[in-house]
A = this chain, B = another copy of it.
Amino acid sequence: MTTLSANEIVGRLKLHGLRVTPQRFAVYENLLNRIDHPTVEQLLVELNQAGPVSSQATIYNSLQALREVGLVRQVLLEEGVVRYDANVDPHHHFRCHSCGHIEDIPWEAFHEVVQSSLRPGLRPDRYEVTVMGTCDRCQPPEPQDAV
């Protein structure tokens, strides 16, 4: 989450062979500066809030280009909702089904569990845990109890 400078963002794009257009820059910069895993619609609204920056088609194009070089990934947690994430380091996700809040779960949280637990024959090379539950702000009306 360390905020990247404009130069660093440009550097990353060029490093991956992407031309630096204002639209592409804006999409990536915006995605880097938020932790909420936005949808295309949300990106579109926020980017064009203070005057037009990017068309819808270009946001789709930019996300696709960024995805192809591995700077951005999709996150699929809900049916019919595609979210985008500029955190491409392996990690997991938590989703509050009360308020919809989504947050990252560090990769280390489920350390090494998977590799050892699969049946022989399956060669895992990636895995991801999705946890659904209730976040801090949405605790259900329970009186008092601990884990």
Binding site for B on A (CB under 8 A): 74, 76-77, 79, 82, 94, 105, 109-110, 113-115, 117-118, 120-136, 139-140, 147
Q: A122-B133, A123-B135 are in contact. List 12 more A-B contacts (CB 8 A).
A: A76-B79, A94-B122, A105-B118, A113-B113, A114-B129, A122-B135, A123-B134, A123-B140, A125-B132, A127-B129, A127-B131, A128-B132
B121–A110 CB distance below 8 A: no
B132–A127 CB distance below 8 A: yes
CA distance A4 to B105 in the complex (A): 40
Chain B hits for A140, CB < 8 A: 123
B121–A135 CB distance below 8 A: yes
